[in-house]
Amino acid sequence: MDFRIEKDTMGEIKVPNNQYWGAQTQRSLENFPIGEEKMPKEIIEGFAYLKKACAIVNNKLNRLDKIKTDAICVTCDEIIQGKLSTEFPLVVWQTGSGTQSNMNVNEVVASRATQNLGKDFRTEKLIHPNDDVNKGQSSNDTYPTAMRIAFVLELQKRLIPSINVLKTTLENKSKEFETIVKIGRTHLQDATPLTLGQELSAYVDMLDKALNQIDDSMKYIVELAIGGTAVGTGLNSHPDFSPAVCDVLNILTQTKYEFKSHPNKFHALTSHDGEVFLSGALNALASNLMKIANDIRWLSSGPRCGIGEITIPENEPGSSIMPGKVNPTQSEAMTMVAVQVMGNHTTISVAASQGNFELNVFKPVIALNIIQSIRLLSDTMLAFNDNCAVGIEPNLTNINKYLNDSLMLVTALNPYIGYEKATLIAKTAHKNGTTLKQEAVNLGILTEVEFDSYVKPEDMIKPSL
């Protein structure tokens, strides 16, 4: 491989001649051969938006000339468009402030912008990574800002639409099945009736609440650390820099959530309670998706020896040894995603607790886990929707059989004969393997006509006078 010599404050180092990055990126690449988890591309995109906004504001504040500003902006656009994706090779497991990734972006922008100005970045740089691209900034305020930009963009672009897709499907199914009366279950035991539509309506409300919880967390995530520089004092940053950068970011990103300058930069640099709040919303969503997926696979279990009250699409063979077997694979995938997100939340919670003095140095691992949670939740909901939820259908034969066989229909008799007599009927029917009606009559408690007038499953799905 062809190399060139780059210099930084630590001295000289060989850098691949065909790459835009410089000495600090190369040092990180060599010093941290840890794992395979690269800095998420979403974070790099967040950096590109931030560096562009900073350049624009520095120009407005007469701190950066127009030629440099335009060159930086063009390069940032290239990064946002994914044209320079091979220039960001660093792993997550680096310095906890994300300094090397900040410098990776600074170096790539400086080199590529120099090239866009017609010069060979290998021999001279018209734009300096620190003095120009990083002007008025520190890794300590840019990394937390870039990751929050990434969170907002990914939530709006991926997660929220995915929630709405699955919510709409389940809402339509709930309405479609609103008159299908079935037996309910509590403690994995028979309970009183409800409709299949009512059962699915719980899932709709869960997803609706998830949207509300994400919205609530955004009031913290939109507060940006930019302008705090090294320890929160704003040293080397213009007093108007932070709010102005937020204003430009709002124009560039066009999100429904409005970025604003964090009112306390000391808090912004050393604490990530906002990220814990967001992760908590993702964790709650994961918990509810776990419940939904488990319910669907229980309700569709069988096909002959399970509950089998609903059918789901048969997508692929389920066994390499049992011919004809089909499994609830979308439920299984979604439950695995759920446990991963729950684990991520624990990681984020512990990492956020490690803000020592003026800086939290667990930022990259926080960013990695939140981005992964957003990505996994978004993908699994769309897959579950398209390959499972849209194809849910009721198995009326099984639904009616279980409904009519259930001993818990006896609950409707409580207002007429009391709890103890109703219990006697249920226990006797269970012991003898007979029906509730048979034992109510045999025990001399009710006539057939009385029983039929009192026990109507379709009347047991709502409150009564």
User: Quick count: other Cβ atoms within 10 Å of Cβ 32?
Assistant: 15
Q: Is 18 annotated as a binding residue?
A: no
Nearest to 63 by CA among 241, 260, 246: 241
Pairing state between β 355-356 and 359-360: antiparallel
234 marked as binding residue: no
* Residue at token pair 């066989």: 405
Catalytic residue among 85, 319, 353, 453: 319
130 is in an annotated binding site: yes
> Any catalytic annotation for residue 319?
yes
Is 326 labelled as part of a ligand binding site? Answer: yes
- From CA 274, how far away is CA 272, in angstroms rounded? 5
* Annotated binding-site residue? 31: no
**Is 187 an active-site residue?**
yes
Instruction: Please check if 346 is assigned to a binding site.
Output: no
- Helix 363-387 to helix 41-60 angle (10° resolution) is 120
Spatial CA neighbour of 36 closest among 82, 93, 100, 105: 93
DSSP state for residue 409 in the 8-state scheme: G
Query: Are 439 and 422 within 8 A, CB to CB?
Result: no
Query: Which residues, in sequence order, are CB contacts of 38 under 8 Å at separation 6+?
Result: 88, 89, 90, 91, 92
- Asked if the bond preceding 303 is cis, omega within 30° of 0, the reply is yes
Annotated binding residue at 62? no
Q: According to the annotation, is 320 in a ligand binding site?
A: yes
Phi, psi of 14 (to 5 degrees): -80, 135
Q: Is there a binding annotation on residue 197?
A: no
Residues 6+ apart with CB under 8 A from 190: 183, 184, 402, 406, 407, 408
**Is 14 annotated in some ligand binding site?**
no
Q: 97 a known binding residue?
A: yes
Establish whether 215 is an annotated binding residue: no
Q: CB burial class (10 A; 0-12, 13-18, 19+) of residue 82?
A: exposed
174 in a labelled binding site: no
Annotated binding-site members:
97-99, 128-131, 138-140, 186, 320, 325-327
Question: Residue positions in the annotated binding site for substrate?
Answer: 97-99, 128-131, 138-140, 186, 320, 325-327
Catalytic residues: 187, 319
